[in-house]
Chains A and B, each alone.
Chain A
Amino acid sequence: MNSDKRIHRERASFKQRGEKHYVMLYTRYERFWHWSQALLIFTLFYTGLGLHGLHDWLDFQSAVTIHTYGALALIVLWMFTTFWNFTTGQWRQYLFKEGVMKVIRFYAYGILVGESHPYKKGLQRKQNALQSLAYMSFMLLIGPALWSSGIVYLLYDLWSGYSWSGRGLTVIAFVHTAAAYLMGTFVIIHVYMTTTGKTPIHYIKTMITGYDNIELTEAEKAYIEETHSVSIKD
Chain B
Amino acid sequence: MHKQVKLDIRSSVLICLTALTLGISNQTSASDEHHSEAGDDKDMNFRIVTDNAPSIRDDGESTADHGKFESLEGPFENGRQVTKACLACHTEAGRHFKQSIHWTWEYDNPETGQTLGKKHLINTFCTNARGNEGMCAQCHAGYGWKDEGFDFNDESNIDCLVCHDRTGSYYKTPNSMGNKACSVMFQDKEPIQWAKVAQSVGKPGRENCGTCHFYGGGGDGVKHGDLDSSLKFPDRHLDIHMDAEGLNFACTTCHVTRQHLWAGSRYNVMAHDTEGLGLPGERRDVATCESCHSTSPHANTELAGIKLNGHVDKIACQTCHIPSIARGGVATMVDWDWRTAGKTRNGEGFKEKNYTQGNGAHRATYKSIKGDFTYGEDLTPHYDWFDGQMRYTTIDTRFDPNQGPVEINGFKGSRGDGVSRIWPFKRMHTVQPYDKGNNTMVYMHLWGDDDDSYWGNYDFGRAIRVGMAKNNIPYSGDYGFVETYSFWPITHMVAPSEEALGCAECHSRDGRLNQLEGLYMPGRDSFGWLDILGYLALGGALLGVLLHGLLRKLFSMRNGQGADHE
Residues of A at the B interface (CB closer than 8 Å) are: 51-53, 56, 59-61, 64-65, 68-69, 107, 111-117, 121, 156-157, 160-161, 163, 166, 169-170, 173-174, 177-178, 180-182, 184-185, 188-189, 192, 195-199, 202
| A160:B314 contact, CB within 8 angstroms | yes
Give A157 to B311 CA distance when docked, in angstroms. Answer: 8
B313 within 8 A of A: yes
**Interface membership of B545, Cβ < 8 A:** yes
Which of A111, A160, A161, A184 has a CB less than 8 Å from the CB of B538? A184
Whether B508 pairs with A56 at a CB distance below 8 angstroms is yes
Q: How far is the CA of A184 from the CA of B538 in the complex (A)?
A: 6
CA distance A174 to B530 in the complex (A): 8
Q: List 13 A-B contacts (CB under 8 A).
A: A52-B522, A52-B526, A60-B503, A60-B507, A61-B504, A69-B303, A111-B565, A114-B555, A116-B566, A181-B533, A185-B538, A192-B549, A197-B565
In the assembly, what is the distance between CA of A165 and CA of B555, in Å? 55
Inter-chain contact A60/B502, CB cutoff 8 Å? yes
On whether the beta carbons of B530 and A197 are closer than 8 Å, the reply is: no
Q: Complex Cα distance A64/B307, Å?
A: 9
The smallest beta-carbon distance between B421 and chain A, in angstroms, is 12
Contact A166 B520 (CB under 8 A): yes
A65 touches B538 (CB 8 A): no
Q: Are A189 and B533 in contact (CB under 8 A)?
A: no
- Mark B503-515 against chain A: 1 for CB-CB distance below 8 A, else 0: 1100111000000
Q: A53-B509, A188-B538 are in contact. Are A117 and B565 (CB under 8 A)?
A: yes
Pair A65/B563 contact, Cβ less than 8 Å: no
Q: Are A182 and B502 in contact (CB under 8 A)?
A: no
Q: A56-B504, A61-B502, A160-B313 are in contact. Are A173 and B522 (CB under 8 A)?
A: yes
- Known contacts A59-B502, A188-B538; 12 further A-B pairs (Cβ under 8 A): A53-B522, A53-B524, A56-B504, A60-B502, A60-B503, A112-B551, A113-B559, A114-B555, A114-B564, A163-B418, A177-B531, A178-B530
Q: Which residue of B lies closest to A170 (CB)?
A: B520
A3 to B307, CA, bound (A): 64
Measured between beta carbons, the chain A residues less than 8 angstroms from B509 are 53
User: Which residue from chain B places its CB closest to the CB of A191 in the assembled complex?
Assistant: B545
With CB as the reference atom, state the residue of chain A lying closest to B311: A157
The answer to whether B310 has its CB under 8 Å from any CB of chain A is yes
Residues of A within 8 A of B507 (CB): 51, 53, 60
Residues of B within 8 A of A181 (CB): 530, 533-534, 537-538
Asked whether, in the complex, the Cβ of A111 is within 8 Å of the Cβ of B563, the reply is yes
Bound complex: CA A156 to CA B519 (Å): 13
Of all chain B residues, the one with the shortest Cβ separation from A113 is B555
Is B7 positioned at the interface, with any CB of A under 8 Å from its CB?
Answer: no
Nearest-neighbour CB distance to chain A for B554, whole angstroms, equals: 8
Chain A residues near B545 (CB-CB < 8 A): 188-189, 192
Are A111 and B552 in contact (CB-based, < 8 A)?
yes
Q: When chains A and B are docked, how far (Å) is the Cα of A182 from the Cα of B541?
A: 10
With known contacts A69-B303, A160-B313, A189–B541 Cβ distance under 8 A: yes
Q: How far is the CA of A112 from the CA of B557 in the complex (A)?
A: 10
Q: How far is the CA of A10 from the CA of B440 in the complex (A)?
A: 99
Q: Are B541 and A195 in contact (CB under 8 A)?
A: no
Contact A196 B565 (CB under 8 A): yes
Please, how many angstroms separate the alpha-carbon atoms of A53 and B355 in the complex? 39
CA distance A167 to B552 in the complex (A): 48
- Tell me the B residues contacting A by CB distance below 8 Å: 303-304, 307, 309-310, 313-314, 415-416, 418, 502-504, 507-509, 518-520, 522-527, 530-531, 533-534, 537-538, 540-542, 544-545, 548-549, 551-552, 555-556, 559, 561-566
Given contacts A163-B416, A181-B537, A53 and B523 within 8 Å (CB-CB):
yes
Which of B304, B526, B548, B555 is close to A64, meaning CB atoms less than 8 Å apart?
Answer: B304
Contact, CB under 8 Å: A177 / B566: no
In the bound assembly, the distance between CA atoms of A192 and B538 in angstroms comes to: 13
Chain A residue numbers with a CB within 8 Å of B540 are 185
What is the bound-complex CA distance between A161 and B310, given in angstroms? 11
Residue pair B508, A53 in contact (C-beta under 8 Å)? yes
Across-interface contacts of B531 in A (CB, < 8 A): 52, 177
Q: Which of B416, B504, B508, B566 contacts A166 (CB 8 A)?
A: B416
User: How many angstroms between the C-alpha atoms of A139 and B163 in the bound complex?
Assistant: 71
Partner of B304, one of A65, A111, A173, A189: A65
Residues from chain A with a CB closer than 8 A to the CB of B564 are 114, 198
Selected from A51, A60, A173, A178, the residue in CB contact (under 8 A) with B534 is: A178
Cα separation A112 to B554 with both chains bound (whole Å): 9
Contact in complex: B522, A160 (CB < 8 Å): no
Q: Which residue of A lies closest to B542 (CB)?
A: A188
Give the CA-CA distance A173 to B523 in the complex, in Å: 11
Closest 5 CB pairs of A and B: A181-B534, A192-B545, A60-B503, A157-B310, A188-B541
A60-B508, A69-B303 known; A197 and B523 CB under 8 Å? Answer: no
User: Given A65-B304, A116-B566, are A60 and B504 also a contact pair (CB < 8 Å)?
Assistant: yes
Closest chain-A Cβ to B475's Cβ sits at a distance in Å of 46
| Distance, CA A54 to CA B141, complexed state (A) | 56
In the bound complex, what is the Cα–Cα distance between A114 and B554 (angstroms)?
12
Write the chain A residue with the least CB distance to B303.
Answer: A65
A115 to B555, CA, bound (A): 12
| Bound form: Cα–Cα A162–B559 in Å | 65
Expressed in whole angstroms, the Cα–Cα distance for A178 and B418 within the complex equals 30
Q: Knowing A111-B565, A185-B541, A198-B564 touch, does A192 contact B548 (C-beta < 8 A)?
A: yes
Within the assembled complex, what's the spacing in Å between the Cα atoms of A196 and B545?
A: 11
| Closest partner residue, chain A, to B540 (CB atom) | A185
User: Is A177 touching B527 in the complex (CB atoms < 8 A)?
Assistant: yes
Could you tell me the distance between the alpha carbons of A27 and B384 in the complex, rounded to whole angstroms?
Answer: 57
Chain B residue nearest to A65 (CB atoms) is: B303
- Nearest Cβ on chain B to A165's Cβ, whole angstroms: 8
Partner of B565, one of A56, A65, A198: A198
Q: Is B561's CB under 8 angstroms from A114's CB?
A: yes
Quote the shortest CB–CB distance from B345 to chain A (angstroms): 53
Are A60 and B523 in contact (CB-based, < 8 A)? Answer: yes
State in angstroms the CA–CA spacing of A115 and B536 once bound together: 31
B565 close to A116 (CB less than 8 A): yes
- A156:B310 contact, CB within 8 angstroms: yes
Query: How far, in whole Å, are A115 and B564 apart by their CA atoms in the complex?
Result: 9
Bound form: Cα–Cα A50–B288 in Å:
35
Residues on B with C-beta less than 8 A from A64 are 303-304, 307, 503
Assembled-state Cα–Cα distance A146/B537 (Å): 17
Q: In the complex the two chains form, what is the Cα distance from A95 to B540 in whole Å?
A: 28
B563 touches A59 (CB 8 A): no
Least Cβ–Cβ distance between B289 and chain A, in angstroms: 19
- Contact call B303/A68, Cβ cutoff below 8 A: yes
A residues near B544, Cβ cutoff 8 Å = 189
A64 to B508, alpha carbons, bound, how many Å? 13
B545 — nearest CB in chain A belongs to which residue? A192
User: A59 touches which one: B503, B541, B556 (CB < 8 A)?
Assistant: B503
> Within 8 Å CB of A69, what residues of B?
303
Closest to B416 in A: A163
